[in-house]
Structure 1
Amino acid sequence: MEQTQSGDARHRRRTGNDIKGALRDLRIQLALLNHQIGGKLALKDVDLDCLDVLARSGPLTPSALARQAGLHPATLTGILDRLERGGWIARDRARADRRSVTIRVLPDRGMEVFRLYQPMIGAMDDVLDGYSEDELALIADFLRRSTAAGERANDELGQE
């Protein structure tokens, strides 16, 4: 019985390591994809990150965007200047308080990015088609919990 538990623990550890390795491989492939798309659009990886945050969250203040993208506000200023010059974003000022700014993605440019990601989106749809609803729910839960673990690790590193 004890030998079976030891074998089960070894198998579980090996499977866990396989999953962590697969996540690292996925991270590398996504980074390469982002880099290629950025090259086609003359954007840096961090520019794409900011555009993605804005596309997912909607218009944001610069401080909210900096927080969500994990950037220092001073760093974000240069990124926003570059994105605005390239016609990717607009800075909208409030009428009442001209100092209050909201950043938004310009729709036509956002579609340009989406078009380049479409082959990966389609490939992922094909991958997901091979799973049942219960399996998809499990995968979604795993990814959400993995994201939360990453956020905790980032928070801990940021406090050192």
Structure 2
Amino acid sequence: MTEGDDKRDRKRDETLRRLMEVGRVHSGVTVMFHSAVAAKQGLNATEEKTLDLLERHGPLTAKDLARLTGLAPASVTGLVDRLESKGFARRVAHPTDKRRVLVELDQEKIGELAVFFEDWARDIVAACEEFSTGELETVVRFLTVMAERQREAAARLGS
């Protein structure tokens, strides 16, 4: 190994260490932000993020929610019960399979959460102004890979 290789390895190791540290910070502030938004509506962070899944994917079965959240089926049942009792979601008959039930959002109630994200969305757009499109594409690729790896890690924990 040459001195240049060793220097590159040390730089990569240091960059990975910094990435892990900033990832921990980002994870923490993300959880705290979503907990604060959830608390404004009498929800917990898991409930709030489940509403986000329903908003992005449309009505889902409990099995779909278990797969997407990594929660056990019994936990999903309790989660849906809570969301239903708080007026954010409801169970509806599946349109093609009468044995199945879908969980869908109450669109009017979910609109109450949107206001909490409007300022944050403006902040994101403003922060992205200092990055090139290529840099943003790299961030998108990185976050996509990391989301899949974290989903896999959550599934392993749930096993």
Identify the residue that residue 122 of structure 2 maps to in structure 1: 122
Identify the residue that residue 71 of structure 1 maps to in structure 2: 71
- Structure 1 regions of 5+ residues with no counterpart? none
TM-score by length of 1: 0.89
TM-score by length of 2: 0.90
Identify the residue that residue 56 of structure 2 maps to in structure 1: 56
Query: Using a 3 Å threshold, how does the CA distance of structure 1 residues 54 and 157 change in structure 2: closer, same or farther?
Result: same
**Residues 64-92 of structure 1, C-alpha deviation per residue, up to 9 Å, x if partnerless?**
11211111111111111111111101211
Q: Using CA pairs below 8 Å that are at least 6 residues apart, which structure has the higher relative contact order?
A: 2
Alpha-carbon separation, structure 1, partners of 2:51 and 2:80 = 10
Tell me the C-alpha RMSD between the 2 structures.
1.9
Alpha-carbon separation, structure 2, partners of 1:79 and 1:66 = 10
Alpha-carbon separation, structure 1, partners of 2:26 and 2:95 = 45
Alpha-carbon separation, structure 2, partners of 1:89 and 1:137 = 34
Per mean C-alpha deviation after superposition, the further-off stretch among 104-113 and 150-159 is 150-159
Alpha-carbon separation, structure 1, partners of 2:39 and 2:156 = 33
Alpha-carbon separation, structure 2, partners of 1:152 and 1:77 = 22
Secondary structure at the residue paired with 1:102? strand
Alpha-carbon separation, structure 2, partners of 1:96 and 1:129 = 46
Secondary structure at the residue paired with 1:18? helix
Query: Using a 3 Å threshold, how does the CA distance of structure 1 residues 91 and 3 change in structure 2: closer, same or farther?
Result: same
Identify the residue that residue 11 of structure 2 maps to in structure 1: 11
- Structure 2 regions of 5+ residues with no counterpart? none
Identify the residue that residue 154 of structure 1 maps to in structure 2: 154
Question: How much has 1:158 moved relative to structure 2?
Answer: 4.4
Query: Using a 3 Å threshold, how does the CA distance of structure 1 residues 143 and 94 change in structure 2: closer, same or farther?
Result: closer
Alpha-carbon separation, structure 2, partners of 1:116 and 1:146 = 26
Identify the residue that residue 88 of structure 1 maps to in structure 2: 88
Query: Using a 3 Å threshold, how does the CA distance of structure 1 residues 75 and 107 change in structure 2: closer, same or farther?
Result: same
Identity of counterpart residues, as a percentage? 26
Residue identity opposite 1:6 in structure 2: D
Query: Using a 3 Å threshold, how does the CA distance of structure 1 residues 71 and 152 change in structure 2: closer, same or farther?
Result: closer
